[in-house]
Amino acid sequence: MSEDGEGRNRLSSVLILAAVIAGILILGDLNRRMANARRLERDAVQLETEVVVMATERVQLMTSVAEATSESIIAEWAHSDAKLVREGETLIIPLPPPGQISVATPVPGHDLETPSKWQVWWALIFGG
């Protein structure tokens, strides 16, 4: 009888060990699936935000295209910026009186020298 009882104990120990291992494997799989679900939800929120931003940009671009192709906007640009005239109009460009020296408006140049990295750090650390 002791062999029967010992065999049952051994069998029940093996079954308990198998159940514990199966439980650990199942919990590990559930944990992996939950992590994937959280990542997918986070990605979905990020993609929704990107879609909203792109939809807004699309509306702005469509508005810009509509304005750029508008006949009235094109006519206004041609008349003011391109110096084109309509039928019956005469383009008049004011000139300075003879003998007067016109001073050209200085165009900001790129004469400023970009400081090196060590000069930037020196100025940040020592204030000079």
**Domain regions of the chain by residue span:** 2-91
Instruction: Give one word for 83, left, alpha or beta, with left for phi > 0 and alpha for psi -120 to 50.
Output: left
What contacts 67, CB < 8 A, 6 or more positions away?
73
The full DSSP string for 51-90 is HHHHHHHHHHHHHHHHHHT-HHHHHHHHHHTS----TT--
Q: How far apart, in whole angstroms, are the C-alpha atoms of residue 60 and residue 33?
A: 40
Per-residue pLDDT of the chain (128 residues; tens, 9 = 90+): 456 667 788 889 999 999 999 999 999 999 999 999 999 999 999 999 999 999 999 999 999 999 888 988 888 888 888 888 888 888 888 887 888 777 777 776 666 778 888 888 888 888 76
pTM to 2 decimals?
0.44
